Amino acid sequence: MSYKNFPMVPRVIFGRGSFNQINDVLAPKRSSIHAPFIFLIDDVFKNNAWLTSRINLSYDDRIIFVSSKEEPKTTQVDELVEDIILKSKERPSGIIGIGGGSLLDLSKAVALLITNEGEAHDYQGWDLVKNAAIYHVGIPTISGTGAEVSRTTILTGPKLKLGINSDFTPFDQVLLDPELAKDVPKDQWFYTGMDCYVHCVESLNGTYLNEFSKTYGEKSFDLCKEIFLDGDLSEEESQDKLMMASWHGGMSIAYSQVGVAHAMSYGLSFLLGVKHGIGNCLVFDHLEEFYPEGVAIFKQMKAKHSIELPTGICAKLTDEQFDTMIRVALSLEPLWENAIGENWKETITPEKLKGIYKKI
Amino acid sequence: MSYKNFPMVPRVIFGRGSFNQINDVLAPKRSSIHAPFIFLIDDVFKNNAWLTSRINLSYDDRIIFVSSKEEPKTTQVDELVEDIILKSKERPSGIIGIGGGSLLDLSKAVALLITNEGEAHDYQGWDLVKNAAIYHVGIPTISGTGAEVSRTTILTGPKLKLGINSDFTPFDQVLLDPELAKDVPKDQWFYTGMDCYVHCVESLNGTYLNEFSKTYGEKSFDLCKEIFLDGDLSEEESQDKLMMASWHGGMSIAYSQVGVAHAMSYGLSFLLGVKHGIGNCLVFDHLEEFYPEGVAIFKQMKAKHSIELPTGICAKLTDEQFDTMIRVALSLEPLWENAIGENWKETITPEKLKGIYKKI
């Protein structure tokens, strides 16, 4: 038996308005005037001076606005890396990701691919990365994915939707400023928050669970219930708590794994480009069989916030399309093993998954 | 407003029996065959082959057994550093502390003083350390102090009991093996566990608290109640949970501080050499005024485990001795500010503290 030597984010700032400290945080990390900081920012912040005016661009530093309308792709990482290398006189001083899970994952992947040869899809899987990434900083502007603290970056590649899981993936620095989440639209707030909730349910009900992951998962689960179900919280309290729920939920995966909802959501996302947060919700809504208590609470949360999930998503899919989703979902073996146990292949068959997908 | 950029332990292993991995963890960190690993181990493990036989000593590596009967002193750190430097051909590859809070704090301080000139007491205070420590690893064998995750190392110096608080203090690696706590005597288990419980109460009721520290403190508090009050836990569950309670309790101090019990316990310990865990209990038992709910629960925990605290500790002290304790306690300004607020000096007077000390 060998236990994972889990890499934690070595530096974290938490506080409302802490984004004001970004320039002070970066300054000592500049390796030369020719080595720029590259800010990858969700393009919803384009022309948003409240955020961007606080970033001091010096020397060759630049902002690249990136759309998060689609889930991040390996080809997108490769293009960003090529662009950054071509336009920088020296290897950049750092990559700063500002946005939700998509931007954070893209930033982690770009930082890795600057120091690792080849293409992003070469590294999809577990522990395939050889070299440390360049300095990279994560600044979430929406909470739930846990991408700020995880050792993965989930990308849609040519054949699979799969993470680059490695000890070099986690950020070197995270800045948690709950104020940055102030303009998140309600639906997106709910779907992304549910990513965190689903992490907790999947981690806490998984076979991989140990006491380390359990304590983080339980705290995150309790916070989710406070925010989405019981709570009579102010907007600020809710933002603060959800940012911490996301953090602890991400930490809960350290010695655990996600499960059925994530595996199937990746299939949905690979084929149809469904965003991860809503994809999780679409699947999780039909997983009473695996997570009876978790799904019951989820339905209460949905009702409380008057969230109507779209229906008929898979109504007109061909058999071939179902097969693609099922192939992607079944490729995520550790997720199934965590969810069901070592003998998961006995019960998790293509027919079984097709039956669930058909309900969506 | 500027928020602390909190340093987290960058690598952590959790698992029963994970101590077996110690040699694999250290191997890549050896800087040369002349740069030994120095193991500082609580001398209760002397002749304990179950533990020591699992450490492969190579080249000039050595074990130094250290008594934890007394609280760690700055002079003790200076002596250890001198001995290590004199006997090592090169700067050591790393310091590995194995024991409770005393051993962990000593190890952190030794690792710092190997790269920072002068004596340990020069660095007691906040952010006085100039250079990064050498690689240092913490392996707790008793849970509660949070020393495994904190950015301080509490030492008794010539004038004060005070921590070396710095960003360089935290361990580079922590290994959490709950099995190592299997032979802890019951009283010590309780007193050290209560250190964690008191951290939580002081952090959660402090004026410095923010949502980051609060979520960690709440989880740790809940675990303490499960372990010491409600619980019908197996011994293994209890060990696992207390190790995580200690971890989260330590993390809760990140943006917070301890409070009245710690400040006064330091005074008691400075003058009389009272060990920190029991010192906290002796003080906390009389702090209903500051922490009514926390103290009530503490008394229930004491009763449940039939713990009889010694009495009359301060019965025969001279006025001069009271003054010494009070001077040490009042020197810990951030603790009082956290506990009472900015205007703490209006109510926390020498007379007030004397009144409390006299009850002990």
* CATH code of the domain covering residue A318: 1.20.1090.10
ipTM higher than 0.85? yes
**Res B258: pLDDT:** 94
User: Residue A10: which of B8, B14, B240 has the nearest Cβ?
Assistant: B8
Distance of residue B229 Cα from the nearest chain A Cα, in angstroms? 18
Distance of residue A360 Cα from the nearest chain B Cα, in angstroms? 35
Give the count of beta carbons closer than 10 Å to the beta carbon of residue B65: 17
Residue A3: inside a domain: no
Of A144, A165, A181, which residue sits at a domain end? A181
- Please check whether residues B206 and B345 belong to one and the same domain: yes
Residue B132 has pLDDT above 70, yes or no: yes
Question: pLDDT, tens digit, for every residue of B203-246?
Answer: 999 999 999 999 999 999 999 999 999 878 999 999 999 999 99
Residue B189 has pLDDT above 70, yes or no: yes
- Please check whether residues B112 and B38 belong to one and the same domain: yes
The length of chain B is 360
Residue B21 has pLDDT above 80, yes or no: yes
Residue A348: inside a domain: yes
Integer CA distances (angstroms), A41 to A22, A70, B256, in order: 14, 14, 31
Q: Dump the DSSP string for A196-233.
A: HHHHHHHHHTSTT--HHHHHHHHHHHHHHHIIIII---
- Please check whether residues B57 and B206 belong to one and the same domain: no
Residue B23: inside a domain: yes
Residue A251 has pLDDT above 80, yes or no: yes
**Res B71: pLDDT:** 93
- Please check whether residues A91 and A212 belong to one and the same domain: no
Q: For chain A, what is the largest distance between any 2 Cα atoms, rounded to a whole number of angstroms?
A: 59
Of B159, B181, B203, which residue sits at a domain end? B181
Residue B1 has pLDDT above 70, yes or no: no
CATH number for the domain including B139?
A: 3.40.50.1970
CB B130 within 8 A of CB B116: yes
Residue A235: inside a domain: yes
Tokens of B188: 């010590």
Rounded (5°) CA angle A7-A9-A15: 160
Average pLDDT over residues A148-170: 95
Residue A90: helix, strand or coil by DSSP? coil
| Confidence band of A9 (pLDDT split at 50, 70, 90) | very high
Residue B61: inside a domain: yes
Tokens of A342: 């070592």
Q: Indicate the pairing of strand A136-140 with strand A94-99.
A: parallel
Distance of residue B9 Cα from the nearest chain A Cα, in angstroms? 6
Residue A68 has pLDDT above 80, yes or no: yes
Average pLDDT over residues A51-58: 97
**Res B181: pLDDT:** 97
Average pLDDT over residues A10-15: 97
- Please check whether residues A252 and A116 belong to one and the same domain: no
Residue B180 has pLDDT above 80, yes or no: yes
Q: Strand order of the sheet with strand B62-66?
A: A6-7, B11-14, B173-176, B136-140, B94-99, B37-42, B62-66
Looking at the 3D structure of chain A, how many domains does it have?
2
Q: Dump the DSSP string for A6-28.
A: EEPPSEEEE-TTGGGGHHHHHGG
Cα gap A64→A37, rounded to integer Å: 11
**Res B232: pLDDT:** 87
- Please check whether residues B196 and B177 belong to one and the same domain: no
Q: For residue B87, what is the enclosing H or E element? A: helix B74-87
Cα gap B243→B176, rounded to integer Å: 7
* Residue A27 sits at the chain B interface (C-beta within 8 Å): no
- Please check whether residues B265 and B131 belong to one and the same domain: no
Tokens of A80: 């960003």
**Res B202: pLDDT:** 97
Cα gap B22→B180, rounded to integer Å: 13
User: Residue A8: which of B12, B216, B240 has the nearest Cβ?
Assistant: B12
Q: What is the pTM of this model?
A: 0.96
Chain B residues touching residue A12 (CB < 8 angstroms)? 5-6, 8, 212
- Please check whether residues B207 and B306 belong to one and the same domain: yes
- Burial of residue B162, with CB atoms counted within 10 A of its CB: 0-12 exposed, 13-18 middle, 19 or more buried: buried
Cα gap B181→B196, rounded to integer Å: 15
Residue B1: inside a domain: no
Q: Poorest-confidence range of A51-65, A132-146, A250-264, B84-98? A: A250-264
- Please check whether residues A177 and A293 belong to one and the same domain: no
Residues 195 to 214 of A: which have CB under 8 A from any B CB?
210-212
Q: CB pairs below 8 Å between A and B: how many?
A: 104
Q: Which residue is it, tokens 């997106």?
A: A188
Beta partners for A155?
A162
CB A357 within 8 A of CB A322: yes
Closest-CA residue of B relative to A251 is B12
Question: pLDDT, tens digit, for every residue of B241-284?
Answer: 999 999 999 999 888 999 999 999 999 999 999 999 999 999 99
- Please check whether residues B177 and B190 belong to one and the same domain: no
Q: Which residue is it, tokens 């989880």?
A: B219
Which residues of chain A form beta strands (DSSP E)? 6-7, 11-14, 37-42, 62-66, 94-99, 125-126, 136-140, 154-156, 161-165, 173-176
The range of the structural domain enclosing residue B286 comes to: 186-359
Question: pLDDT, tens digit, for every residue of A303-337?
Answer: 999 999 999 999 999 999 999 999 999 999 999 99
Chain B residues touching residue A240 (CB < 8 angstroms)? 210-211
Give the count of beta carbons closer than 10 Å to the beta carbon of residue A274: 23
Find all residues with CB under 8 Å of A139, minimum gap 6, and list them. A19, A22, A96, A97, A98, A99, A174, A175, A177, A180
Q: Which of A68, A254, A235, A67 is nearest to A146 (CA)?
A: A254
- Please check whether residues B105 and B196 belong to one and the same domain: no
Q: Which long-range contacts (CB under 8 A, 24 or more apart) does A336-339 make?
A: A336/A259, A336/A260, A336/A263, A337/A207, A337/A208, A337/A257, A338/A202, A338/A206, A338/A207, A338/A208, A338/A256, A338/A257, A338/A258, A338/A259, A339/A202, A339/A205, A339/A206, A339/A207, A339/A257, A339/A259, A339/A260, A339/A263, A339/A290
Residue A81 has pLDDT above 90, yes or no: yes
| Confidence band of A1 (pLDDT split at 50, 70, 90) | low
* The dihedral sign for the CA sequence A77, A82, A88, A92: positive
User: Residue B7: which of A10, A14, A219 has the nearest Cβ?
Assistant: A10
Tokens of A343: 């003998």
User: Residue B3: which of A4, A6, A21 has the nearest Cβ?
Assistant: A21
Residue A84: helix, strand or coil by DSSP? helix
User: Given an 8 Å threshold on Cβ–Cβ distance, is B223 in contact with A215?
Assistant: yes
Residue B6: inside a domain: no
Residue A270 has pLDDT above 70, yes or no: yes
* Residue B173 sits at the chain A interface (C-beta within 8 Å): yes
Question: pLDDT, tens digit, for every residue of A179-225?
Answer: 999 999 999 999 999 999 999 999 999 999 999 999 999 999 999 99
Residue A65 has pLDDT above 90, yes or no: yes
Of A181, A216, A247, which residue sits at a domain end? A181
Tokens of B65: 């057994």
* Residue B18 sits at the chain A interface (C-beta within 8 Å): yes
**Res B255: pLDDT:** 86
- Please check whether residues A43 and A174 belong to one and the same domain: yes
